[in-house]
């Protein structure tokens, strides 16, 4: 079936069978490979994207059912400027192999947008993103430092 997806500010038209997931549509049809297939079952979070501004698992979303704009990790940075969360992940060494990182970052962006800062709340919010390298404490540090930076920026604007 013919569908149109708004991805990172661009409208993409494609022809997919109804069973194609958003993850496979992004990766295999549109060449957007930031979202990763770590489990394909909604059990790891590596495929996390934003749909309509909210986090969602693209592996459990049928592409043909998506009607709201999609943001992937590729859509966060603009003009070669890293998003504050991306910069915080690099600075805090919140990644090792990096395979889960695009999904972690999409969840982290949602966490900072919601103003989540308490360490236990950050841990809970980020628990839908597995990291086998186990960078968890650094991920918590990255979310908190990016969040405080965003709040500082908001305060000065």
Site residues for other proteins, 106-125, by CB under 8 A, read 107, 110, 119-120, 122-125
Gap between the Cα atoms of 115 and 128, Å rounded: 18
Among 45, 70, 84, 112, which residue interacts with other proteins (rule: CB under 8 A)? 45
Among 5, 70, 76, 109, interactor with other proteins by CB under 8 A: 76
Alpha helix ranges (H) inside the chain: 22-24, 84-91, 101-113, 119-125, 136-156
139 touching other proteins, by CB under 8 A: yes
Site of tokens 């993850």 = 23
Q: Does 18 bind other proteins (CB under 8 A)?
A: yes
Indicate which single residue of 12, 14, 69, 74 sits in contact with other proteins (rule: CB under 8 A). 74
CA angle (77, 79, 98) in 5-degree steps: 35
Measured CA to CA, the distance from residue 94 to residue 112 in angstroms comes to: 15
Shortest distance in whole angstroms from residue 115 CB to other proteins:
13
If the CB atoms of residues 11 and 17 are measured against other proteins, the closer one turns out to be: 17
With CB under 8 A as the contact rule, the residue among 7, 71, 72, 109 that binds other proteins is 72
Residues numbered 77-106 forming contacts with other proteins, rule: CB under 8 A: 77, 82, 86-87, 89-91, 93, 95-102, 105
Outline where 63-135 has alpha helix (H). Answer: 84-91, 101-113, 119-125
By CB under 8 A, how many residues form the interface with other proteins?
A: 78
Question: What is the nearest approach in angstroms of other proteins to the Cβ of residue 84?
Answer: 11
Closest by Cα among 80, 66, 79, 78 to 30:
66
């Amino acid at each position: 079936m013919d569908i149109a997806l708004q991805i990172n500010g661009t409208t993409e038209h494609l022809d997919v069978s109804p069973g194609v997931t958003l993850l496979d549509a992004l990766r295999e049809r549109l060449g957007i490979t930031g979202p990763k297939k770590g489990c394909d079952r909604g059990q790891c979070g590596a495929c996390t994207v934003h749909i309509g501004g909210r986090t969602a698992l693209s592996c459990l979303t049928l592409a043909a059912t998506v009607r709201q704009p999609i943001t992937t990790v590729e859509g966060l940075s603009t003009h070669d400027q890293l998003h504050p969360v991306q910069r915080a992940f690099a600075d805090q060494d919140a990644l090792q192999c990096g395979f889960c990182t695009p999904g972690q970052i999409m969840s982290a962006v949602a966490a900072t947008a919601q103003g989540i800062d308490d360490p236990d709340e950050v841990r809970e919010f980020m628990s839908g993103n597995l990291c086998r390298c186990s960078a968890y404490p650094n991920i918590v540090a990255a979310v908190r430092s990016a969040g405080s930076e965003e709040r500082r920026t908001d305060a000065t604007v």
